[in-house]
Structure 1
Amino acid sequence: MKIWQRVKTTFYTAYASWKGQGFDFSNWFGRTFWGIDNSQLATNETIFSVITRLSNTLSVLPIKLYKDFDIVVNQAADVLINEPNQNMNSFDFINALEVSRNEHGNGYAVILRDIRMQPIEIIPLDPACVMEIVNREDGSLWYQVNGESNTMYVHNLDMIHVKHIRGPNRWRGLSPLKVLANTIKYDKAVQEFSLSEMEKKESFILQYAANVDKETRSRIIGDFKRFYAENGGILFKEPGVEIDPIEKKYFASDTLASEKITRSRVANVFNVPVSFLNESGGGTFGSNEQEMIRFVNMTLLPIVRQYEHEFNRKLLTKVDRKNGMYFKFNLGGLLRGDTTTRTAYYQAAIRNGWLSQDDVRRYEDEPPVGGNASKLWVSGDLYPIDLPISERKSSATTSSTVEGGEKSE
């Protein structure tokens, strides 16, 4: 039997063991699978900040299953949106994937299916336990998952894999923290040096003249030791004695400059505006709205599209996709702007007939009221878009004027 036939047999044997009510996938890994320490996130404030912002922003975005622009619900949508697995809600699931993607460069989640091959659970995995393998016979991608006591091979259609950029001959994404290795090392060295300098006690140079006798010298040194031990007080300066403090090498401005460099480099690698890391000197936009538009278009949109493609390909069947079904994150809430901007936008949309009042109410999280509020209107001022022209006031007035012979030439 060929090696990859054995691999496939192993996979299907493992898959068969997944079935059944009450299955607990975590038992396969053991109790310590989730306990790997995250040292970089725990020790670097800037890295923690940017990963927290990205993961939380993505986690709060509404995600729905659509069919030709209408919201629908099936088993895959219910699992993803409401209960990905027995231990997580949708927020925790997306958050865990995005944190893994940003820390390790890759986020993995195995899809468990029922006998009809429909998703029943989606469970995030530790990236350190997963490795990509390509079958040379047919070129298919598989994932080797190493547990505490077992090794499993999962086909790519049963593994959600979100990642950072990768090379043409690689399936594994590049970790941003590896790119920032020198920056993190430099920042840590500066912090340790600054901390050690601040923790040092004051240093002095004690000079006395050659004609100072031994008894006076011992008394002067004793008085100075007492002064130093008490961290202050009164010290009488004897004739022929000079006391000069040794200046510390720590300067607060050096630490601030170093932190500014670190924030700039981290923002570049994670592709976020540097102002998102509380750097006041990095803003080049005329308004917060412009900055948010750039963040959404250049940072969030590529991330969101990657998640959508993974969910569409691996949670929906080909029949579902042919019938017009697709998952979609709603980014509109991040681009609504302030009250004045939204009001002008909604007014233009309603008066030009491409949004109804009920559409606006949904965007503002208000319930639709139906009736005329669900219709499209055009300014005239204003009519339902399906109202015949002859029944509009301006047309009726013109017609009566023409019939009465009062039309001016």
Structure 2
Amino acid sequence: MKLWQRTKQAVYMAYASWKGKGYDFSDWSGRTFWGIDNSQLATNETIFSVITRLSNTLSTLPIKLHQNYDVIVNQAADVLINEPNQNMSSFDFINALEVSRNESGNGYAVILRDVRMQPSEIIPLDPSCVTEFIDRDDGSLWYEVRGESKNMYVHNMDMIHVKHIRGPNRWNGLSPIKVLANTIKYDKAVQDFSLSEMEKKESFILSYAANVSNDTRDQIIGDFRRFYKENGGILFKEPGVEIDKLKKEYFASDTLSSEKITRSRVANVFNVPVSFLNETGGGTFGSNEQEMIRFVQMTLSPIVRQYEHEFNRKLLTKDDRKYGMYFKFNLGALLRGDTAARTAFYQMMLRSAGMKPNEVRQFEDLPPDKSEMANQLWISGDLYPIDLPIAERKSTTTSTVGGGEKSD
């Protein structure tokens, strides 16, 4: 689409949002949700577990708008952090995006803007209703969103799109559940077989001698049928009659081995430590802290950076970014370690002028101290404000002057 078409599209969306109820995007795409969810997310415990962990972890991370390291608030930050739309909190919004990203490979949310072209609402979309395409006139990326009554075309700057990896010739992400199709099929086959074997009744071989009369044989079979039907009781074994129990083919160890294989494959595809899926074997980390560091560095950091880049590019203007504004998730809370590790870290940072006392209190979610001294950097000596002249610091060193000792 040409420039005038994009301008027309932007003005239309701003006008629709400004007009209020009855003219917004949610009314256009209104749907009634009903029925039973038969997706793999609802029918596979392992996949449900890993997606729940990823989406909940990302949703609980604090996100703030910074300007050259200072925390600020503007309209875009207020919409994203406090009320993305009239039906969702920030937790629900990010959680919905992350669940869609992990289930279908893509998470979409359309940005509605006011008359000043500032974000007013961000509404998640059903990934199955969105298709990407490239405009042949200018090469820009657009999204076709299919509604109940009509379709809408949204420019990429008005669409939050988070995804899994993609190939060079495609814009939508690859669904990890599709990658796990064979694993899911194998796991289901093992579960169905194990369940069918467990539900089978006990089987027996009833043998009797050739010289047993017909009446005696009928009596033996009748007694055994009664015994089997009543699931127990007394059964008299007649001479020449043998009863052998058939062994079942089900072995609990087979199911456990299959579940272990499934957990390992799911963990590999979603790039999480297998211990996060309650698999205790095969651990290689010396502590939970080391494992969490690997999870943050290898799994969460790429996901978080993708969200931050989408928010920075599409919720902030170029002028905002020139003035040093950026959205940032705080991953520090996941790396704080236990009490002893945090104490040692804070002591080191305080004594080397790396942090202020109030910054330490902020990390621990404590209110700032009102003293001005709590907002100063200190160095060990023990301890001084970093800007205190050396001459005013106490000293315990001694020097020899004229054959005697003098305290500095």
| TM-score when normalising by structure 1 | 0.94
Matched position secondary structure for 1:245? strand
- Determine the C-alpha separation between the residues in 2 that align with 1:223 and 1:52: 55
- Determine the C-alpha separation between the residues in 2 that align with 1:34 and 1:320: 42
Matched position secondary structure for 2:301? helix
Alignment match, 2:376: 375
Matched, 1:171 2:186: no
Greater displacement, 212-221 / 259-268: 212-221
- On the 8 A contact 2:14/2:117 being kept in 1, the answer is no
Alignment match, 1:201: 201
Cα deviation digits, residues 94-131 of structure 1 (max 9, x gap): 00000000000000000000000000000000000000
Alignment match, 1:29: 29
- Determine the C-alpha separation between the residues in 1 that align with 2:243 and 2:343: 71
Greater displacement, 17-26 / 158-167: 17-26
- On the 8 A contact 2:108/2:160 being kept in 1, the answer is yes
- Determine the C-alpha separation between the residues in 2 that align with 1:286 and 1:110: 44
Matched position secondary structure for 2:239? coil
- Determine the C-alpha separation between the residues in 2 that align with 1:13 and 1:211: 96
TM-aligned CA deviation for residue 29 of structure 1 = 2.0
Q: How does 1:356-395 map to 2 (within 5 A)?
A: 356-369=356-369, 370-394=371-395
Matched position secondary structure for 1:37? coil
Alpha carbons of structure 1 residues 183 and 367: separation in structure 2 relative to 1, 3 Å: same
Amino acid at match of 2:271: N
Greater displacement, 214-223 / 268-277: 214-223
Matched position secondary structure for 1:393? coil
Bigger helix fraction:
1
- Determine the C-alpha separation between the residues in 2 that align with 1:14 and 1:81: 22
TM-aligned CA deviation for residue 30 of structure 1 = 2.9
Alignment match, 1:112: 112
- Determine the C-alpha separation between the residues in 2 that align with 1:311 and 1:38: 32
Amino acid at match of 1:319: D
- On the 8 A contact 2:112/2:120 being kept in 1, the answer is yes
Cα deviation digits, residues 198-257 of structure 1 (max 9, x gap): 011001111111111111111111111111111111111111111111111110000000
Alignment match, 2:187: 187
- Determine the C-alpha separation between the residues in 2 that align with 1:42 and 1:64: 33
Alignment match, 1:236: 236
Query: When the two structures are aligned, how many residues end up with a matched partner?
Result: 405
- Determine the C-alpha separation between the residues in 1 that align with 2:319 and 2:269: 39
Greater displacement, 58-67 / 3-12: 3-12
Alpha carbons of structure 1 residues 236 and 76: separation in structure 2 relative to 1, 3 Å: same
- On the 8 A contact 1:11/1:153 being kept in 2, the answer is no
- On the 8 A contact 2:13/2:113 being kept in 1, the answer is no
- On the 8 A contact 1:4/1:135 being kept in 2, the answer is no
Alignment match, 2:317: 317
- On the 8 A contact 1:132/1:141 being kept in 2, the answer is yes
- Determine the C-alpha separation between the residues in 1 that align with 2:402 and 2:105: 76
User: How large is the Cα RMSD of the aligned pairs?
Assistant: 2.2
- Determine the C-alpha separation between the residues in 2 that align with 1:289 and 1:250: 40
| TM-score when normalising by structure 2 | 0.94
Matched, 1:283 2:315: no
Amino acid at match of 1:21: G
Alignment match, 1:327: 327
TM-aligned CA deviation for residue 268 of structure 1 = 0.2
Matched position secondary structure for 2:19? coil
Runs (5+) with no aligned partner, structure 1: none
- Determine the C-alpha separation between the residues in 2 that align with 1:38 and 1:372: 60
- Determine the C-alpha separation between the residues in 2 that align with 1:373 and 1:354: 13
Q: How does 1:330-345 map to 2 (within 5 A)?
A: 330-345=330-345
TM-aligned CA deviation for residue 25 of structure 1 = 2.9
Cα deviation digits, residues 117-173 of structure 1 (max 9, x gap): 000000000000000010111110000000111100000000000000001111000
Alignment match, 2:261: 261
Cα deviation digits, residues 14-61 of structure 1 (max 9, x gap): 654343233553321233268783511111000000000000000000
Q: Sequence identity, in percent?
A: 77
